[in-house]
Amino acid sequence: MRLEQGDSFERQNINWTRKTLPFYEDIWKAFIGHDGRGTPCSMPGLNAEQQVNRKRFYQAHYSFPAKLMQVQKSVQEFESDLEKATENILDEVTQRLFQIMCAVGYIKAVKNLITYLNTVCKSIYLRRLQKTPY
């Protein structure tokens, strides 16, 4: 899949995604696919658990850029607020910092999930290559 084939978020943020997450399209192309109608390709031969894990993988992979962009924007707003901070807005700034930290925790968890599932997908893919006669 190329970002140009993606949904509105992917199409509107092509340059940012390619600069920030240069692996995004390659992972999608290698392990998820695009059926030309906006949905991932099927992967025949997976058992039910593998199907669920694959779906979690591509959902996490898809949501990762949007959450990362949200954190970047929040950090920029936070830095701007700190420059003009007064006692009146410190509670709001503290709340925003908490939201940023929650989002960073989410990003870390998704990154770990993507790394794990990427390993699983590679393993499945390599086993299939070994079984495929040429």
CA 59 to CA 8: how far, in whole Å? 16
CA 3 to CA 20: how far, in whole Å? 13
Candidates 126, 111, 129; CA nearest to 24 is 111
The chain-wide mean pLDDT, for the chain, equals: 78
Per-residue pLDDT tens digits for 53-106: 888 888 888 888 888 888 888 878 777 777 776 666 667 767 777 777 777 777
The helix (run of H) or strand (run of E) holding residue 93 is: helix 90-131
Confidence of residue 15 (pLDDT cuts 50, 70, 90): very high
